[in-house]
Chain A
Amino acid sequence: MKLTVGFYCGLARRLSKETEAEVEVREGATLRDVCAALAKKFPAFLGQLIVPGTHDLVEPHFFNVNGSRAANLDVTVQEGDRILLMAITAGG
């Protein structure tokens, strides 16, 4: 299935030069699969934004799915979900 991931953090936009990206993942995919697909599409993400091997997100980045923060990367997603890649933005 095809999913669109919106880049709502500066790092993803800077590394990809895009504000969103379409990725193809299997049915029943998790957010970790989305990370792997993103890393494949944008190798520059590896290391800075996505941990090589585990495909974890580097702190303080996270996904927001359909308006709520995803608890972890094992959350499954489906076609039509609104997926946003974000960072916790601090004050000061």
Chain B
Amino acid sequence: MFGYMGKILRVNLTEHRITEERLEENIARAFLGGRGLGAKILFDELAPGIDPLSPENKLVVAAGVVTGIPFAGNCRYVITGKSPLTNIWGETNASGFFGPELRFAGFDAIVFEGKAEKPVYLWVHNGEAQLRDASHLWGKVTGETEELIKRELQDDRIRIASIGPGGENLVRYACVLSDFHHANGRTGMGAVMGAKNLKAIAVRGTLKIPLADRDRIAELCKQASKEVWEGAYKDLLHKYGSDGDLDDLHATGRLPTKNFQKCTFEQYENITGETMAETILVRRDPCFACPIACNQVVAAQEPYVVDPAYGGPEYESAAALGSTCMNGDLVAVAKANELCNKYSLDTISTGVTIAFAMECYEKGLLTKADTDGIELTWGNHQAIIQLVEKIAKREGIGDLLAEGVKRAAEKIGRGAEAFAIHIKGQEVPMHEPRGKKGVGLAYATSNRGACHLQAEHDDFFEDPSWLFPEIGLDKTIDRLDMGRDKARMVKILGDFKALYDSLSVCMYASWPEGGVRVQTIKDIVAAATGWDVTLAELMTVGERAFNLCRAFNVREGISRKDDVLPARLMEPLPEGLYQGQAIPKEQFEQMLDYYYEFRGWDKETGIPTEEKLEELGLGYVTAKLKTSRQSK
């Protein structure tokens, strides 16, 4: 088979046993890799109802079919498993260099199962793999872990994905870090590694990806390199990173502020990408084969020492650790971001959880007696820094906040649930759905709980030049529209993003945010594999992955009742350009009806119909869902 290394590594941590499995061509073509491949393995192999932090959970680390082929945006890889934050489908992808190196080391994916008796790390090198003792690494932060492993294996070019104390201490939103600052951020996959006593995965290789038509790939990579320069956001991303968007979001009143109580932030100018570039930026780093170089690297001495090795905040981190907590101190934002990267904490969940605690403090539900004496007032950046430390170490109030807002609110009680801004247990990211209503529907129906990456945002599709009739995006729709066409758009974009996460490509390099055309990516898949793939086939792969993840969740008890937004995000916006804009329940439910109709899901239950699953080649899933429901 071309386009793939053709091998999956299976690592049984309990038995300290490593085996190789062939990646079958029919599975590769149906799922491509990344999210899709993870969904196939986990749906088939995990029993419903298991504890995500138990040895029964599995973790799939998977690259995609284009990962490592040298064109911009091809570097991503995806970690999937059952999430300890949401108890449903967990998934998180990252860029950098780890994904390509995994393939050059000889494998398309690694499946971890069981639990090691003592801390270990996996070393994969040119088709060989071994588990090594990591007792001496336990307790170390991510950067130190990487340095020690490189020294031990005597190779600086090794790429390492690891966890810090946040993952070891089973913070439910612990992430996985590679190269100090590329985060597989969301859904707590770092905690799953911690629960398995898996400290790190180290990969290094010089193997070549077998390509069906190497000359054609060379041509297409050149073409993609030209296209990436035509991306509308290339300059913005290079100069300011994704934080270049923060001022636009403030200007339009869509910047989550004060735990989503506000949507503009008086001190916004302090934390924009532009201010970062003018003050603490030291350089911009690229990912594998990408000329954009959007990773903003920062350093500071006062009021906090910020280590540039850990990168710098992108938009989500700047808003979560900044405006959401009313923190207008850029160096404090950068410090909190650095600590999250060191300790392996998701910056979005960390920021939103701290904002939740601040609101509880403001409303008297938490007092100094609960906070270990910390004044948890809005904007108190010393308190934010202290809380990040405490959460990672589960010290004092950090132990409560390490559970995420949903569980913390349930423990605090007395109405704290109203301030817990989450969907399906995952903290809401930094996009205000009342000012782009499609994002609201995507949030509510995302398979991994609140997620801003499940559908490209509404703004694009007001503009005819961004339409893409070949995949069904054939009419412009206003950002505030909540009708049938919007529901259809969100469905199509959901499949599309599932495709991107299966391929696995970067949204900043590829259409619509990046310049690389979808047609070019399709041609690269065809030239790499030798398959006569069409755009329609690729979109079906996305839809298949989306539905399989939904089926995974249905088996865990998810249904229409869970496809909701937090009450606060449905109320009228209090200020800004879209003041008064709300997501009324009745209209939301109507939009959800339309969405289910386009998805081919039962309107009452939100469960994929037998016909839809059959159409996607997932007929066997229906039987598994039925068995699961009967056993409940």
Contacts and interface: CB of A to CB of B under 8 A. Distances in A.
A87 B453 contact: no
A65 interface: no
Size category of the binding interface on chain B: 35 or more
B459 A89 contact: yes
B513 A86 contact: no
Contacts of B316: 92
Contact of A9 (B232, B251, B452): B251
B101 interface: no
Interface string B216-240: 0000000000000000110000000
A27 interface: no
A18 B496 CA distance: 39
Q: Which of B232, B250, B456 has the most CB of A within 10 A?
A: B232
A32 interface: no
Contacts of B460: 88, 90
B508 interface: yes
A89 B252 contact: yes
Nearest to B452: A91
A14 B250 CA distance: 12
A89 B243 CA distance: 11
Given A62-B463, A91-B457, A14 B247 contact: yes
A8 B250 CA distance: 9
A92 B452 contact: yes
B248 interface: yes
Nearest to A7: B251
Given A69-B462, A90-B513, A10 B248 contact: yes
A91 B453 contact: yes
Q: Which of B233, B466, B508 has the most CB of A within 10 A?
A: B233
B425 to A, nearest CB: 21
Contact of B252 (A8, A68, A71): A8
A90 B247 contact: no
Q: Give me the 4 closest cross-chain CB pairs, A-B, nearest first.
A: A10-B247, A88-B459, A69-B462, A59-B232
Given A8-B252, A9-B247, 12 more contacts: A7-B251, A10-B247, A14-B274, A86-B248, A89-B249, A89-B252, A90-B245, A90-B457, A91-B439, A92-B242, A92-B452, A92-B513
19 contacts: A7-B251, A10-B248, A11-B247, A11-B248, A60-B232, A69-B462, A84-B577, A86-B252, A87-B248, A88-B462, A89-B248, A89-B252, A90-B233, A90-B245, A91-B431, A91-B457, A92-B242, A92-B316, A92-B507
